[in-house]
Amino acid sequence: MISFLGKEIKGPYGFPSGVVATNEDTARWMIQNVPQIGWFVGKSTTIEPREGNPEDIISQPAPDSLWNAVGYANPGLEIMIESFRDLRASVPDDVFLMAQIGEGSEEGFEHAVAEYDRAGDVDGIELNLSCPHIEKGGILIGGNPEVVSSIVKASRRATRRPLIVKLNAGVSRLEEVAVAAAEAGADALTAINTIGGPNPEISKGFGGLSGGLLFPVTVAAVKRLRSVVSLPIICMGGIRGAADIRLLQEIDPSFHFSIGTALGGLDSEGVKRFYHQLEDDLAAGTDLASEMTLSEKLMDYSPFVVSGIEEYGESIRLLRFHQNIDAGTGQFVFLKLGTGHTKPFSVASDRDGLELVVRRIGRMTTKAFELKVNDVVRIRGPYGQKFSFPEERQVVFVGAGCGIAPVNHAAEHHPGPKRFVLGAVTADELTYLDQLRDLGPVDVSTDDGSMGYKGYVADLLEQVLEREDVSGACYFNCGPEIAMAGADRVERRFAPEGDIFHLVERVTSCAIGICGKCSIPSGERLCIDGPIFSADRFTPGEYTRDKTGRKIIDPEELRGLGCKT
């Protein structure tokens, strides 16, 4: 056991706030499966909900480094307190739960700290006085020792729990800020936050640098801090493995460590392996874990030229490109139309050039509807785990709305027998219908009865399965979450959970497992662990999350969700 701010904890590591484990689902998975994780820091909490910045919120300037400007995305103080209550009830007591506050005023910090203290489910509270890309708060107030002193004193009045102050090495009076925090009542420091600077690739145009490029700054900063304060320090900023930790321990062996950017590209099992190897490295004097960390460009865009556009009613467009991409079943790409117009889309075809299906529902997709033949866009990917069905097995493909697009792609890749059950609001929105009819029998439902069965696709699926013998088949579902939930309930009567597969779609911003927004209830992240999950790992309709991270459970809210567009 390790002593951490007065509590005995099970492991010496945690994640930086807002990295990998950004909600209680992923935090729970990591705490339960990675024994080296001894503390969890929640997303930076503001009193009111924030959706954060539009994509791109993360870019990759070097193989081992990232720029980010998330924008304090969080569901607000009340829901964040509830999430810590849920997490506290489901993880061992030997884990230090730490809320983080990202308000912009002394009054805001004091109120949020008091509310967390009153709820009683966190062991300590981190004050984010260092974010380099927020409009109000962060480094704008964290560079002034007098302001830092006032905020820490106000927060101390609101709680007797440990207070941790997160600092940024980009301020001109770092030592003075640290001393002010200590004298005002801080119990520990976190060093360092990302270093801010301009970056045209992210929508905000300005963000914070993390990863390997930042590590020399981290080392220099903690040396400066240790020379003026004796408080415990949580070191973060570019740590990749045992060699980096040993270098920091030469300054002070009592330091604690958070690792974030280095874990980019690692699925959940990969994170487990990393920490086991790190533990072995520290005992053996090796540095093998660092070889597992982010070390290649995963977020670079390439130019794609529009070769054709096909209209399906007023709200759906099929975009074809001259260039192709080697994508497996279920994989997706990011489409970028200038700064601030970026979204993920499931691959609809990669047979004779990349094809994407876009439904117009927001600012980015409205912009996509303005594209013309020969326009140039930018695309990165593909992302997600490649997936394939057993070649000899029949697959019943169930696609609703935009979910027909990845159904088409999956069918193109499956050499075995195929059966299709498709649904849309109206006949005009039934994409790829002729192509799919060439691959196998097709039944169609429409909400308005303009083609085929009038009603929902799950009801049609039930009729098909009751009249046809498809024993031994696998099932593949994609579309709005409410439609997949209906299909799942039907299919469980005819097949074991391991033969039912769902292509899950969530708010997805990075695609390399760092932002954590795309987690499913199990705690896995779809961009890196999925996006295809068997029914024993995922049950559609349980809940999803909006851009703030708030759980969406209401069926009416779920009805329109599920297509990346």
pLDDT at residue number 137: 76
Q: Return d(Cα 21, Cα 268) in angstroms, integer.
A: 10
Q: How confident is the model at residue 376 (pLDDT cuts 50, 70, 90)?
A: very high
Burial 36-64 (b: 16+ CB within 10 A, else e): bbbbbbbbbbbbebbbbbbbbbbbbbeeb
- Contact (Cβ atoms closer than 8 angstroms) between residue 273 and residue 267: no
pLDDT at residue number 138: 82
Q: How confident is the model at residue 537 (pLDDT cuts 50, 70, 90)?
A: very high
What are the Cα distances from residue 398, in Å, to 270, 380, 461, 503?
31, 27, 8, 11
Q: Which residue in the list 131, 235, 402, 518 is annotated as catalytic?
A: 131
CA–CA–CA angle 219, 224, 230 (5° rounding)? 105
Reported as a single tens digit per residue, the pLDDT across 380-409 is: 999 999 999 999 999 999 999 999 999 999
| Cα dihedral: 203, 100, 170, 263 (round 10) | -70
Q: Count of CB atoms within 10 A of residue 254's CB?
A: 11
Averaged pLDDT score across all residues of the chain: 95
Q: What is the pTM of this model?
A: 0.95
What proportion of the chain, given as a percentage, has pLDDT over 70?
A: 98
Q: Return d(Cα 156, Cα 154) in angstroms, integer.
A: 5
Give SS3 for 558: helix
Q: Which CATH class is domain 302-383?
A: mainly beta
pLDDT at residue number 564: 53
The token duo for 382 is: 């593909």
Reduce the secondary structure of 121-180 to three states and give it as a string: CCCEEEEECCCCCCCCCCHHHHCCHHHHHHHHHHHHHHCCCCEEEEECCCCCCHHHHHHH
Q: Return d(Cα 63, Cα 190) in angstroms, integer.
A: 25
Strand partners, 166: 128, 190
Q: Return d(Cα 405, Cα 332) in angstroms, integer.
A: 11
Helix (H) or strand (E) holding 389: none
Helix (H) or strand (E) holding 488: helix 481-491
Reported as a single tens digit per residue, the pLDDT across 128-159 is: 998 877 777 788 888 999 999 999 999 999 99
The token duo for 254 is: 């009592």
Listed in sequence order, the residues at least 6 apart from 253 whose beta carbon sits closer than 8 Å to its beta carbon are none
Spell out the domain ranges in the chain.
2-292, 302-383, 395-559
In the predicted structure, residue 556 carries a pLDDT above the cut 70? no
pLDDT at residue number 385: 96
Q: Return d(Cα 347, Cα 353) in angstroms, integer.
A: 11
Closest to 13 measured CA to CA, from 193, 276, 219: 276
Q: Return d(Cα 458, Cα 532) in angstroms, integer.
A: 19
Q: Output DSSP code: residue 428.
A: G
Reported as a single tens digit per residue, the pLDDT across 475-509 is: 999 999 999 999 999 999 999 999 999 999 999 99
Q: How confident is the model at residue 24 (pLDDT cuts 50, 70, 90)?
A: very high
Radius of gyration over every alpha carbon of the chain, rounded to an integer in angstroms: 25
Q: Which CATH class is domain 2-292?
A: alpha beta
Reduce the secondary structure of 287-301 to three states and give it as a string: CCHHHHCCCCCCCCC
Q: Return d(Cα 440, Cα 97) in angstroms, integer.
A: 53
What percent of the chain is helix, strand and coil (3-state, nearest 5)? 30, 25, 45
Burial of residue 269, with CB atoms counted within 10 A of its CB: 0-12 exposed, 13-18 middle, 19 or more buried: exposed
Helix (H) or strand (E) holding 66: strand 65-68
How big is the chain, counted in residues?
565
Q: How confident is the model at residue 339 (pLDDT cuts 50, 70, 90)?
A: confident
pLDDT at residue number 560: 55
Q: Return d(Cα 148, Cα 142) in angstroms, integer.
A: 6
In the predicted structure, residue 565 carries a pLDDT above the cut 50? no
pLDDT at residue number 559: 59
- Contact (Cβ atoms closer than 8 angstroms) between residue 327 and residue 335: no
Closest to 517 measured CA to CA, from 479, 545, 558: 545
- Spatial strand order of the sheet with 332-336 comes to 342-346, 332-336, 376-383, 302-312, 316-321, 355-359
Closest to 238 measured CA to CA, from 268, 197, 208: 208
Closest to 389 measured CA to CA, from 417, 423, 347, 350: 417
Q: Count of CB atoms within 10 A of residue 146's CB?
A: 10
Give SS3 for 120: coil
Mean pLDDT of 44-55: 96
What is the third-level CATH fold of 395-559?
Answer: Rossmann fold (3.40.50)
Residue 131 annotated among the catalytic residues of the structure: yes
What are the Cα distances from residue 206, in Å, to 53, 141, 197, 295?
11, 18, 6, 23
Helix (H) or strand (E) holding 6: none
Q: Return d(Cα 8, Cα 1) in angstroms, integer.
A: 6
- Contact (Cβ atoms closer than 8 angstroms) between residue 265 and residue 383: no
Reported as a single tens digit per residue, the pLDDT across 199-246 is: 999 999 999 999 999 999 999 999 999 999 999 999 999 999 999 999
Q: Return d(Cα 344, Cα 531) in angstroms, integer.
A: 12
pLDDT at residue number 40: 97
| Cα dihedral: 365, 370, 375, 376 (round 10) | -30
